[in-house]
C-alpha cells in the first residue's frame, strides 16, 4: 500500500510539482535579470548619470552632450552583456529542467536497476 501511494504521488502530484517549480524558477530568474526592463531602457544613461549643461556657450553644451553620449554607450554596453548573460542563464536552466523532467519517471526505478546490475554484473569494487 505504501509503494502504491508513493508511486501515485511520484507520477501525478510530484511531477506536476516539478513543472510548477520549473516555471517559478524561470520567472524568478527572469525577474532577477530584469531582461524586459533592460531592453526597454537599453540606451538610457548608465546609473542615471546625466550631465547638465553649464553655461550658454557651445563648448559646455558639446561637453554635456558628449558626457551624456558616453554615459549612454556605457549603459548600452553593460545592459547588452547583462541581457546576454541572463538569456544564457535562462536557456541553461531550461535545459537542466527539461533533463530533470525527462529523468523524473526513471528515478523510482534506479534501486531496481541497481539491484539487477549487482546480481548480474557484480559490485563495482569486485569488477577489476
What's the mean pLDDT when you consider all of the chain?
86
Whole-prediction pTM: 0.73
Mean pLDDT of 19-33: 94
pLDDT digits (tens, 9 = 90+) for 98-120: 999 999 999 888 888 888 888 88
pLDDT digits (tens, 9 = 90+) for 27-53: 999 999 999 998 988 888 777 655 565
User: Could you give the CA distance from residue 35 to residue 89 in angstroms, rounded to a whole number?
Assistant: 11
Confidence band for 127, pLDDT divided at 50, 70 and 90? low
Whole-number Cα distances in Å, 57 to 34, 63, 68: 40, 10, 17
CA proximity to 79, closest of 49, 36, 50:
36
Please identify which residue in the block is written with the cell numbers 529523468. 103
User: Could you give the CA distance from residue 50 to residue 80 in angstroms, rounded to a whole number?
Assistant: 20
pLDDT digits (tens, 9 = 90+) for 88-103: 999 999 999 999 999 9
User: Could you give the CA distance from residue 1 to residue 7 in angstroms, rounded to a whole number?
Assistant: 10
Q: Which of 17-21, 43-47, 54-58 has the highest mean pLDDT?
A: 17-21
Amino acid at each position: 500500500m505504501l509503494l502504491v501511494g508513493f508511486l501515485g504521488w511520484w507520477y501525478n502530484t510530484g511531477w506536476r510539482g516539478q513543472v510548477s517549480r520549473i516555471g517559478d524558477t524561470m520567472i524568478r530568474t527572469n525577474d532577477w535579470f530584469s531582461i524586459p526592463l533592460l531592453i526597454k531602457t537599453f540606451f538610457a544613461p548608465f546609473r542615471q548619470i546625466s550631465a547638465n549643461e553649464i553655461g550658454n556657450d557651445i563648448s559646455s553644451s558639446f561637453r554635456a552632450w558628449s558626457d551624456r553620449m558616453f554615459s549612454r554607450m556605457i549603459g548600452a554596453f553593460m545592459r547588452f552583456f547583462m541581457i546576454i548573460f541572463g538569456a544564457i542563464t535562462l536557456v541553461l536552466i531550461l535545459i537542466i529542467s527539461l533533463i530533470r523532467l525527462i529523468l523524473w519517471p526513471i528515478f523510482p526505478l534506479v534501486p531496481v536497476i541497481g539491484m539487477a546490475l549487482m546480481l548480474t554484473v557484480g559490485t563495482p569494487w569486485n569488477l577489476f
